[in-house]
Amino acid sequence: MQILTIPTTPISGQKPGTSGLRKKTSVFQSRHYLENFAQSIIDATGGAERRTFVVGGDGRYFNDRAAQVILRMLAANGARRAIVGQGAVLSTPAASHLIRLNGTDGGFILSASHNPGGKDADFGLKFNMPNGGPAPEAVTEAIYARTQTITDYRVLEATDVDLAKIGEQELGKMQVSVVDPVADYAALMESLFDFPKMRTLFSKGFRMRFDAMCAVTGPYAVEILERRLGAAPGTVTHATPLPDFGGMHPDPNPTWAHELMAEMMDPGAPDFGAASDGDGDRNMVVGQGIYVSPSDSLAVLAANVHLAPAYRGGLKGIARSMPTSGAADRVAEALGVQAHETPTGWKFFGNLLDDGRATICGEESFGTGSDHVREKDGLWAVLLWLNILAERSETVQEIMKGHWSHFGRNYYSRHDYEALPTEVAATIMDGLRARLGDLPGTAVAGLTVEGADDFAYLDPVDGSRSTAQGLRLRFTDGSRCVLRASGTGTEGATLRLYLERFVPGPGGLDQEVQQALAPVIEAAEALTALKKLSGRNGPDVVT
């Protein structure tokens, strides 16, 4: 087998966003595109010589082809070993776990996560570090810089590795270990939670629905929920991963997981419902007749996490992304633990988790996780909820109401304006940014602006600074809104408007969310002119 050095030239736009590089599948399939980016990752992270990597993805269209290319490139770059999920499939949290479990030098995760998959949809690739977490900004910038100077890449001339077969193979001088994608992950979950107690819950007739959305979590959820915990067969729906996710948009929110929502709002609903995204790191949680917002879910999980065996000792701290509601901060305060506010994207939690400053982390975008891996973890969150439900013997509804009456309620919603022309989005963002200094004191829609800034983050562990992470407007009554440009889309620019209002209770805890937020929504429009400038009647997706 021969190592080929292929001359290439830089390709523009290979800049990783919030979570890796995401592009249309056809772009990734174009000449040298994947190879240039993969070689740039290898070059910018110190080469692959004698190293071990994990390789796997969410199973979307092109996943298998891309995995074969990456394996041949790792072999050509001198890697010692690659650990690959069977069929080149690994959920993102399972990949993070394998990176850590095997003490490897990192991992290549093939996924565009919650973005639709298929020939005409999206593909993505990201690199995770030896700690199992997404590469931090300094590394993704170095990768991007390398894509702009690259002159050649190395690839082994070889036939495909048989990724259907579990066991050891050789690719040139590199060892390829094909592993069961589920086994180690399921064992990890079993070590964290009280499986016997959860089994008892199911044996008493507890009913659950888990919508895997034809994405990667199907096999994980069937193994853990149905086989190990004894949930009724068929609890997991859309359980077979498909290359195009069966045409579903694998984003677990009330809009895209509407089948689950409809079932859970029905009078005969199961006791507990959940869904996960394309690569298995997101979760949506729904009770009988009640949707749990991700920001609330983080707060409730943090307040109850001591009920699960692995967390009996309590929390070191709670971290949330800036746009996520302050509900978790109230729990941190009550527990007397550190509260951290980071920019959007899981890469910012890694240092806090590694340094023992946080145990549990979350984002408003349906992401929750803990220090058991270095990614958000959809099934982990669902299992923690189940463990809490088994311990408390209350319904989701009772737990939520109890939480609000104790801590007060942070009404919260996100309004997405998708695929706007890039210039329009830039005009809206730049216009507001330019006026931030003048806004404090402005009264609008019955609210008064108290503070306005462009969020910047100073990492307390490594001292790195990240700027321009979202425009924040804080009102005197504690409400706030945030305007931020998405970094995961592949078409035009998506703007996200995050809205929050705190009601301390005892009254006013049962309002309809958009109604409770009406003054903030009105003030946000008056200040950002988002609808007016975008020419849209309203948001495309409301979560």
DSSP class of residue 407? H
Closer to ligand VG1 by CB, 206 or 256: give it.
256
Amino acid at 75: A
Minimum separation from the CB atom of position 377 to Co ion (A): 10
- Which residue, 363 or 500, has its beta carbon nearer to ligand VG1? 363
Span 102-161, contacts to ligand VG1 by CB under 6 A: 113-114
277 binds Co ion (CB under 5 A): yes
Q: Which helix (H) or strand (E) holds 432?
A: helix 422-435
Q: How far apart are CA 344 and CA 485, in angstroms?
A: 11
- Segment interacting with ligand VG1, rule: CB under 6 A, options 53-61, 139-147, 342-350, 430-438: 342-350
Task: Tell me which of 45, 365, 469, 543 binds ligand VG1, using CB under 6 A.
Answer: 365
Part in contact with ligand VG1 (CB under 6 A); list of ranges 167-175, 191-199, 480-488, 525-533:
480-488
505: partner contacted, choices Co ion, ligand VG1, none (Cβ within 5-8 A by kind): none
**Cβ-contact 55, 92 below 8 angstroms:** no
State the first-to-last Cα distance of the chain, in angstroms, to the nearest integer: 52
Q: Which does 93 bind (CB under 5 to 8 A by kind): ligand VG1, Co ion, none?
A: none
- Biggest alpha carbon distance in the chain? 73
Contact yes or no for 200/390 (Cβ under 8 A): yes
Residue 43 within binding range of ligand VG1, rule CB under 6 A: no
Active site residues: 113
Rounded to a whole number of angstroms, the minimum distance from the CB of residue 281 to Co ion is 4
320 touching ligand VG1, by CB under 6 A:
no
Residue pointed to by tokens 């919603």? 413
**Helix H segments across 244-359?**
258-265, 294-304, 327-335, 350-354
The contact pattern for ligand VG1, residues 261-300, with x = CB under 6 A and - = no contact, is ----------------x---xx------------------
* Contact partner at residue 488 from ligand VG1, Co ion, none, CB < 5 to 8 Å by partner kind: ligand VG1
149: tokens are: 């100077």
The contacts of residue 336 (CB under 8 Å, 6+ apart) are none
Given the rule CB under 6 A, which of 325-333, 360-368, 467-475, 506-514 is the region that contacts ligand VG1?
360-368
Nearer to Co ion, 250 or 270 (CB): 250
Q: Which is nearer to Co ion, 283 or 387 (CB)?
A: 283
E strands, 180-256, in order? 208-211, 236-237
User: Residue 251: enclosing H or E segment and its boundaries?
Assistant: none
- Provide the mask over 106-135, with x wherever binding to Co ion is found by CB under 5 A and - wherever it is not: -------x----------------------
C-alpha closest to that of 279 among 207, 353, 185, 188: 185
* Distance of alpha carbon 186 from alpha carbon 208, whole angstroms: 19
Binding ligand VG1 by CB under 6 A: which of 19, 68, 128, 297? 19
Q: Whose CB is nearest to ligand VG1?
A: 113
- When the beta carbons of 217 and 344 are compared against ligand VG1, the nearer one is 344
Residue in 96, 387, 488, 543 binding ligand VG1, rule: CB under 6 A: 488
Candidate list 43, 64, 363, 459; residue touching ligand VG1; CB under 6 A: 363
Any idea what the Cα angle at residue 399 is, between residues 254 and 315, rounded to 5°? Answer: 95
213 close to 250: Cβ distance less than 8 angstroms: yes
The footprint of ligand VG1 on this chain (CB under 6 A) covers a number of residues equal to 18
Q: What residue has token string 């888990």?
A: 210
> CA 407 to CA 394: how far, in whole Å?
18
Q: Which of residues 296-335 bind Co ion (CB under 5 A)?
A: none
DSSP 327-377: HHHHHHHHHT-EEEEE-SSGGGTHHHHHTTS-SEEEETTTEEEETTSSS--
Q: Alpha-carbon distance 205 to 203, whole Å?
A: 5
Shortest reach from residue 313's CB to ligand VG1, in Å: 28
Query: Where does this chain bind ligand VG1 (CB under 6 A)?
Result: 18-19, 113-114, 277, 281-282, 321, 344-346, 363, 365, 367, 486-488, 496
Query: Where does this chain bind Co ion (CB under 5 A)?
Result: 113, 277, 279, 281-282
